[in-house]
Amino acid sequence: MEAVSPDNFEEWKHHPVTKRLMKMLLADRETMKEGLINNAFDDELEVKGRCRAIAIILNLEYEDLFEATQQKIEVNNE
């Protein structure tokens, strides 16, 4: 896997395609939250999980990726 530098991550984060994706995810999350308030879903736990997953993506920072990769490497080396 190709290494990702902080500069690469910042370029990705500010790329127009990434910005559009994040905007779409934010809108989808808001729609799901409104649906939860209005009891529009049969499986609320699944929708809450999707909302949490989107929140993780929307708030992703370089360190989150780096630490996760480092932890996986450390676990595999044990």
Amino acid 57 reads: I
Residues 55-68 pLDDT 10s: 999 999 999 888 76
Helix (H, G, I), strand (E, B) or coil at 27: helix
pLDDT at residue 69 tops 60 = no
**pLDDT tens readout for residues 1-16:** 788 899 999 999 999 9
CA distance 58 to 42: 25
pTM of the model as a whole: 0.78
- Residue 4 pLDDT: 86
Please determine, for residue 21, whether its predicted confidence score (pLDDT) is greater than 80.
yes
Closest by alpha carbon to 32, among 13, 55, 60, 59?
Answer: 55
d(C-alpha 35, C-alpha 60), whole Å: 25
Up-side HSE of residue 42: CA atoms within 13 Å toward CB?
Answer: 0
